[in-house]
């Protein structure tokens, strides 16, 4: 694993886009909701804007020290780093469990109800451990291919639904309750997990520019807006009553005699979640200061798997694990609060 090899900033941002795309691919929150397209569009824009603000503390540290936050923390508080490392390691275990449970739930409900989700989760985590062994550069290079495939998949799914658009029964009205607004905003804000990842790996990037993040977030807004547009104006009320609406959208796509593109959806969702958990596991190693230690990746992958088993067997654990409000609060602490505390206490020695 070539841990010291610099990582292209653009390469990392492409992986971040793939990461963000999984949020809309695995979305499952329109059910029993009467919110309109315009309200959800506003939620998307605000959610992505707030997620961008989560990057600011790490961007300041990166620009002033050329270090990512975790390296900065190890340098400035070597005696107390165990507490910071423990929090970030547990945060990433939680985040990995969130995406793993959501993915397997989608797989079990929509693709193969008879499939053994424990085997699926184990195989996925095993592949992620191997990816960690190859290193962040190899993972993000893989992300480029996943990105190219995702562009093709999204293009086919969207264009295959153009003929199904319905502007007669559905319009661009604005409606929805305050609770719907908060819940939907919270869901789109989950992409801010990438801000915590940036805080862990940005020190390895070369040629970093703030505009790279801006372009990535803008592309995410466009993707989310397109996905919601087709969900609302192709699937309509039926779509809002379905779980995992993007899967339903892929099923409704057609070209000539070819109906349904759920195989594209399966490939896209699986590859995206694989990339997510792989990068998260790299961040766990970085947080613990054991970048080259494959044993550490195995240990934390086992913890993720145990958390997954608990979530599948105890509803109380599952409700906590897939709660977007809890995830966003923890993300705020990891991406904003702790880095700001470090900046506050070490602002006079930031260039030492």
Domain ranges of the chain: 7-345
Query: What fold, for 7-345?
Result: Amino acid/polyamine transporter I (1.20.1740)
Q: 3-class SS at 325?
A: helix
Q: Give the total residue count for the chain.
A: 352
> What's the pTM value of the predicted model, to 2 decimals?
0.90
At residue 324 the predicted structure's pLDDT band, cuts being 50, 70 and 90, is very high
Over the stretch 175-190, which tens digit does the pLDDT of each residue have? Answer: 777 888 888 899 999 9
And the tokens for 224?
């989310």
23 burial level (CB within 10 Å; 0-12, 13-18, 19+) = buried
**Rounded alpha-carbon distances, angstroms, from residue 55 to 96, 136, 172, 191, 198:** 20, 20, 32, 11, 8
- Judge contact between 317 and 310, C-beta under 8 A: yes
**Rounded alpha-carbon distances, angstroms, from residue 206 to 56, 75, 143:** 18, 20, 17
Share the mean pLDDT of the chain. Answer: 86
Task: Find the range with the poorest average confidence among 14-23, 27-36, 275-284, 303-312.
Answer: 27-36
- Judge contact between 181 and 43, C-beta under 8 A: yes
Over the stretch 134-159, which tens digit does the pLDDT of each residue have? Answer: 888 889 999 999 999 999 999 999 99
What is the pLDDT at residue 56?
95
Over the stretch 21-67, which tens digit does the pLDDT of each residue have? Answer: 999 999 876 444 567 788 889 999 999 999 999 999 999 999 888 88
């Amino acid at each position: 694993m070539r841990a010291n090899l610099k990582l292209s900033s653009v390469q990392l941002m492409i992986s971040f886009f793939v990461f963000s795309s999984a949020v809309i691919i695995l979305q499952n929150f329109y059910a029993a909701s009467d919110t309109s397209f315009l309200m959800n569009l506003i939620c998307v824009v605000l959610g992505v804007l707030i997620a961008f603000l989560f990057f600011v503390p790490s961007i300041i540290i990166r620009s002033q020290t050329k270090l990512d936050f975790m390296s900065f923390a190890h340098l400035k508080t070597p005696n107390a780093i165990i507490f910071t490392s423990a929090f970030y390691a547990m945060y990433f275990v939680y985040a990995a469990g969130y995406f793993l449970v959501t993915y397997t739930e989608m797989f079990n409900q929509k693709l193969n109800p008879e499939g053994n989700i424990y085997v699926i989760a184990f195989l996925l985590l095993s592949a992620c451990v191997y990816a960690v062994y190859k290193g962040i550069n190899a993972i993000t290079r893989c992300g480029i291919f996943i990105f190219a495939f995702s562009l093709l998949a999204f293009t086919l799914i969207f264009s295959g639904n153009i003929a199904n658009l319905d502007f007669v029964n559905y319009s661009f009205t604005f409606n929805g309750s305050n609770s719907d607004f908060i819940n939907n905003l919270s869901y789109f804000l989950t992409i801010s997990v990438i801000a915590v990842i940036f805080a862990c790996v940005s020190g390895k990037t070369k040629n970093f520019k703030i505009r790279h993040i801006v372009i990535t977030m803008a592309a995410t807004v466009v993707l989310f807006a397109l996905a919601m547009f087709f969900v609302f104006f192709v699937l309509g009320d039926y779509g809002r009553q379905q779980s995992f609406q993007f899967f339903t959208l892929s099923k409704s796509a057609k070209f000539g005699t070819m109906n349904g593109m759920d195989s594209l959806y399966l490939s896209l969702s699986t590859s995206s979640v694989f990339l997510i958990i792989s990068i998260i596991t790299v961040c766990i190693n970085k947080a613990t200061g054991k970048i080259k230690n494959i044993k550490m990746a195995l240990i934390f992958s086992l913890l993720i798997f145990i958390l997954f088993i608990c979530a599948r067997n105890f509803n109380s654990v599952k409700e906590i694990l897939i709660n977007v409000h809890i995830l966003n609060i923890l993300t705020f602490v990891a991406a904003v609060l702790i880095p700001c505390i470090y900046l506050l206490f070490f602002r006079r020695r930031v260039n030492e």
